Amino acid sequence: MKQLFNSIILTFALLLALSATLTAQNSIVEQDSVVSNTEETKESFVYLLNADELRYSERINPDAQILVGNVVFRQDSMYMYCDSALFFQEANSFNAYHNIRVEQGDTLFLYGDSLFYDGNTRILKIRDNVRIENTTMVLLTDSLNYERDAELGYFFAGGTLLDEDNTLTADYGQFHTPTKMATFMKDVFLESVDYSLSSDTLLYNTDLHTAYFVSPTEIISEETTIHTSKGNFNTDVKEATLLNRSVIIQKDGEQTMVGDSIVFNESKGQAEAFGGVQIRNYPDKIDMDGEYAYFSQENDSAVVTGNALAVEYSAGDSLYIHADTFRLLTFYNATRDTVLYREMRAFNKVKAYRTDMQMVADSLVFNSLDTCLTLYKDPIVWSENQQVLGEKISVYMNDSTIEWAHVIGQALFAQQIDTVHYNQIAGREMKAYFKDGAIERTDVNGNVLVIYYPEDEDMQMMGMNTTEASQLSAYFMNREVYQIVIQKKSNGVMYPMDQLTEKNMYLENFNWFYNLRPFSRYDVFNWRGKKASEQLKSSPAIDIPLPTLNRNRN
């Protein structure tokens, strides 16, 4: 009799619980139309909308209702589905098991194997085979907490985010539903068909498909590697804005670009760098620095300006060149699969320094095809106590060692003996030949004028020889003139040293431009131009290459 009585009491309790639950369900159904119109209103209570079977066990869990089959809960606009659950009605919470599905409008869809939800804190804790979805991405993990009030989900046991083109993995992360912004931390790795990205901390907008860098990050594609610690990268258009002295590496390290900030479009193969820009071209052994640079990967061409400096270091001694603007051009064969040669062009106020040679000019072109360096418009070249000037000077080099130089138009060679006396040779055209970097012979053609101080065995000047000729060759030893050969008829006068006057000691176009000469690698930035009276007359026959990047030679 006692056992029967206890069974009746338990059955009665279960009926009361079921009656209360069904009453709550009816109440919620009646409220659904109101809630649908005011979804922004946060309801405090979690409501049970459906369960195929309801059980109660005072011995096992006196605080919980046991729900089995097609279980549905709701709190305001969020619906939660599962196969079974323990409903703690007084605590306003539940544990759900198997085939978990959480839906909130069309913005949040959550799936997993188990779920604990606290209706008071409005925090979901979903575990095992977790999947969170919205219209633009899927996030996979095994442990996820979601704060409804903050609309923020976070995982802490490894996670993978998938969108249309990218796969992003990390140890820890969070996702903000309204902004569609994900934050990933520790061993972050983003991969697509065209590139891979690794970082310690990364922000990613799944709607804009844009990654934001806040820690050291490396991006690797087929032809480019990027190192940065701050900036962003749009994975759709492959355009990056890079800050904090980022580095772009091209062609397996053959070329690099560094700048305070860089805008790089990989699809177009173009980069713009601003502030403290450094471009390194290791195969050609040319460095270029400036405040602004533009680089085109398609033409392998660059422009550098703003306190610009180029350094050529193919030999042991580097050549430092300063100009307002540098352009580096690459010329290919007809099929564009082979580089024929490269050209570096410098424009406006060119000044160059190397320990054995210094130069100034308006413009400069260096051609890798014949290793020729050409100076345009009032160029001057110095080497030790020698100075050469003209309308155009071409210097041909071998491993950065001068082999010969060609001076065209109003050519003047001057060799300083002391502060007063100078050997001088002038003509329309001049060719100078060098051996081991030292001048060996000079050939001069057209209206040749010479002032020369022969010396005796004690290196004392014997007088001043002046000569006029149409052709002349001067020979040097230890950088000093020791023989002059006149190849055609000439006129000459020998003046004793005591009969020299300032008027006859110098050729008409002579000037020793000591103050224009750069005295160190740092002095190339200090421009000291000629006076108007010292400038050569312009010649229309001297062409200066146009400052363009678009012209290409096949």
> How many beta carbons lie within 10 A of that of residue 406, not counting itself?
17
pLDDT band at 141 (very low <50, low <70, confident <90, very high): very high
Within a domain: residue 377? yes
Specify if 278 maps to a domain: no
- ∠ Cα 88 93 94 (to 5°): 70
Q: What is the mean pLDDT of residues 478-497?
A: 80
Q: Is position 469 within any domain?
A: yes
Residue 98: give the domain boundaries: 2-32+43-133
Find, among 26, 95, 101, the residue nearest to 65 by Cα.
95
CA distance 189 to 186: 9
Answer yes or no: is 86 within a domain: yes
Burial classification of residue 359, based on how many CB atoms lie within 10 Å of its CB (0-12 exposed, 13-18 middle, 19 or more buried): buried
pLDDT in tens, 202-254: 999 988 889 999 999 999 988 889 999 999 999 888 899 999 999 999 877 88
**Dist. CA 454–CA 445, nearest whole Å:** 22
Interval 315-327: pLDDT, tens: 678 889 999 999 9
| pLDDT at residue 137, as a whole number | 82
Calculate mean pLDDT across residues 351-378. Answer: 90
User: Is 246 domain-assigned?
Assistant: no
Q: How confident is the model at residue 543 (pLDDT cuts 50, 70, 90)?
A: low
The tokens for 97 are 């098991």
Among 133, 161, 190, residue at a domain's last position:
133
Cβ(314)–Cβ(400) below 8 Å: yes
Domain with 513 in it: what CATH number? 2.60.450.10
**pTM of the complete model beyond 0.85:** no
Domain count across the chain: 2
User: Measured in Å, how far apart are the chain's first and last C-alpha atoms?
Assistant: 109
Q: Looking at 103, 133, 163, which one is the last position of a domain?
A: 133
Q: Where are the beta strands (DSSP E) in 355-436?
A: 357-367, 372-376, 380-383, 386-389, 392-398, 401-416, 422-435
Residue 554's pLDDT band (boundaries 50, 70, 90)?
very low
- Taking every pair of Cα atoms in the chain, the longest distance, rounded to a whole number of angstroms, is 153
In this structure, is residue 337 part of a structural domain? yes
Is 48 domain-assigned?
yes
297 contacts: CB under 8 Å, gap ≥ 6? 223, 250, 269, 270, 271
Report pLDDT digits (tens) over 381-411. 998 888 999 999 998 887 767 888 999 999 9
Q: Among 4-8, 218-222, 327-331, 523-527, where is mean pLDDT lowest? A: 4-8
What DSSP string describes 458-512? TS-B--EEEEEEEEEEEEEETTEEEEEEE-S--EEEEE-GGG--TTTSS-TT---
pLDDT score for 539: 55
pLDDT tens for each residue of 273-307? 999 999 988 887 889 999 999 988 888 889 999 99
Q: Looking at the domain assignment, is residue 258 inside a domain? A: no
Point out the least confidently predicted range of 50-54, 56-60, 191-195, 519-523.
Answer: 56-60
Which of 133, 149, 164 marks a domain boundary?
A: 133
d(CA 278, CA 30): 71
- How does strand 286-296 pair with strand 270-281? antiparallel
pLDDT at 5: 37
Three-state SS for 427?
strand
pLDDT at 299: 80
Whether the pLDDT of residue 552 is over 60: the answer is no
Sort strands 464-477 and 480-486 into parallel, antiparallel or unpaired: antiparallel
Bridge partners for 341 per DSSP: 331
Q: Is 178 exposed, middle or buried (0-12, 13-18, 19+ CB in 10 A)?
A: exposed
Q: Which residue has the tokens 């601003």?
A: 274
